[in-house]
């Protein structure tokens, strides 16, 4: 059955990065592949993200409102105009009142959350896909709010689908190192990581650095790569991320959504927390023995971090355990499960039921 039109409310900027948009894109792809249409509604979009969405066949609508009350009204008007009854909201700038406003407008709301600090929750469905998610984070919620918790519902884009059932052979001696610090890396933390690697004496490494199209430090990173004695390859605005990740023997990554993508591909990883919401993810992955927690970026010490990378590179058994445990966390079907739960929950709701079932206005 055609699911009709889905409206996604999320933003992307140099400051906040692209993670909110990219995980929503995973759900949007499943929605689109089921015959529906998707509209991304945003106040801010980097040019690179806008190009990516359009290349995926997604529609985009933007506005400049900063008041959340007005924002909810414009979003509701857009949804009515596009005959959409279901909206997805993803972003730390939105609050509990925003959820209530959207419900009062008669919309069915999926709220994507990471930190459990937006209560009281009244969205129809709350999704927290992180390894640390638990129901205790959402005690302050309406009785009818459904929770989708943990990596079982992880939103992975369809470029990762072919890797769901593949088994990985861990390199005895790692040669290919992947470094990723998010889509924007506004603090240019990549430079500090590469410097730490260079002084660690890890051995001959091919280093691939991935940055987003909105990264403001592109030119300085190109200069760093050209002057480095190591073989450093800089990739910008990557479209084949799954292939790039799968080619790595070891990864250094920010502890955002990327760490779960690496988990599916069974890439041994060291995680750095670049934002407060990433600290829990890094700790949870380390607790599951699926990653090494490299700590908070504000406490970064080049020598200590270099030794951490050196130990990981030299410890084959450790990297095997990390890869095996990571694979147990993520199976790659979370976007489909989330889509199915969202459709079922919307069908059970009295709001917009006939429109949703018909798939037409």
Mean pLDDT of 141-164: 96
221 part of a folded domain: yes
Question: Residue 76 sits in which domain range?
Answer: 5-156+332-355
Among 161, 23, 261, 116, residue whose Cα is nearest residue 271: 261
361 part of a folded domain: no
Percent of the chain with pLDDT over 70: 96
Distance CA 119, CA 139 (A): 9
Distance CA 293, CA 337 (A): 29
Confidence at residue 361, expressed as pLDDT on a 0 to 100 scale: 52
For residue 49, the SS3 value is: helix
Same domain, 105 and 75: yes
CATH code of the domain covering residue 319: 3.40.50.2000
Residue 254, both tokens: 């920010």
Percent of the chain with pLDDT over 90: 80
> Pairing relation of β-strands 146-149 and 206-211?
unpaired
For residue 37, the SS3 value is: strand
Task: Give the least confident one: 38-52, 210-224, 261-275.
Answer: 210-224
For residue 243, the SS3 value is: helix
Same domain, 132 and 185: no
> pLDDT tens, 207-250?
999 998 878 889 999 998 888 877 899 999 898 999 999 999 99
108 part of a folded domain: yes
Mean pLDDT of 343-361: 61
Same domain, 212 and 314: yes
What's the total number of domains in the chain? 2
Q: Say if residues 89 and 9 touch (Cβ distance below 8 Å).
A: yes
Same domain, 224 and 124: no
65 part of a folded domain: yes
360 part of a folded domain: no
> pLDDT tens, 167-199?
889 999 999 999 999 877 888 899 999 989 888
210 part of a folded domain: yes
Q: Say if residues 251 and 262 touch (Cβ distance below 8 Å).
A: yes
CATH code of the domain covering residue 51: 3.40.50.11190
Same domain, 278 and 298: yes
Say what the pTM is. Answer: 0.92
pLDDT at 352 over 50: no
């Amino acid at each position: 059955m055609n699911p009709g039109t889905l409206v996604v409310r999320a933003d992307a900027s140099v400051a906040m990065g692209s993670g909110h948009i990219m995980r929503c894109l995973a759900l949007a792809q499943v929605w689109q592949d089921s015959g529906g249409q998707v509209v991304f509604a945003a106040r801010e979009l980097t040019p690179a993200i806008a190009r990516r969405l359009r290349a995926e066949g997604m529609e985009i609508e933007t506005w400049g409102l900063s008041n959340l009350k007005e924002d909810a009204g414009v979003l509701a008007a857009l949804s009515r105009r596009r005959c959409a009854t279901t909206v997805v909201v993803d972003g730390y700038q939105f609050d509990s009142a925003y959820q209530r406003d959207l419900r009062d407008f008669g919309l069915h709301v999926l709220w994507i959350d990471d930190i459990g600090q937006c209560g009281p929750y009244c969205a129809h469905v709350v999704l927290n896909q992180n390894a640390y998610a638990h129901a205790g984070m959402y005690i302050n919620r309406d009785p009818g709010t459904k929770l989708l918790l943990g990596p079982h519902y992880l939103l992975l884009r369809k470029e990762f689908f072919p890797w769901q059932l593949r088994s990985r052979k861990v390199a005895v001696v790692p040669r290919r190192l992947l470094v990723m610090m998010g889509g924007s890396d506004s603090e240019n933390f990549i430079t500090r990581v590469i410097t730490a690697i260079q002084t660690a004496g890890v051995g001959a490494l091919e280093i691939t650095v991935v940055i987003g199209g909105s990264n403001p430090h592109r030119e300085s990173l190109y200069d760093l790569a050209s002057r480095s004695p190591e073989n450093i390859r800089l990739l910008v605005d990557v479209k084949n991320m799954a292939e790039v990740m799968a080619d790595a023997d070891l990864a250094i990554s920010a502890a955002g959504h990327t760490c779960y993508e690496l988990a599916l591909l069974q890439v041994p990883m060291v995680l750095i927390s670049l934002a407060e919401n990433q600290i829990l993810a890094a700790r949870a992955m380390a607790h599951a023995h699926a990653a090494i927690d490299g700590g908070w970026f504000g406490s970064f010490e080049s020598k200590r971090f270099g030794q951490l990378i050196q130990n990981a590179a030299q410890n084959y058994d450790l990297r095997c355990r990390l890869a095996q445990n990571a694979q147990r966390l993520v199976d790659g079907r979370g976007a489909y499960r989330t889509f199915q739960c969202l459709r079922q929950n919307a069908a059970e709701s009295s709001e917009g039921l006939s429109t949703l079932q018909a798939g037409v206005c």
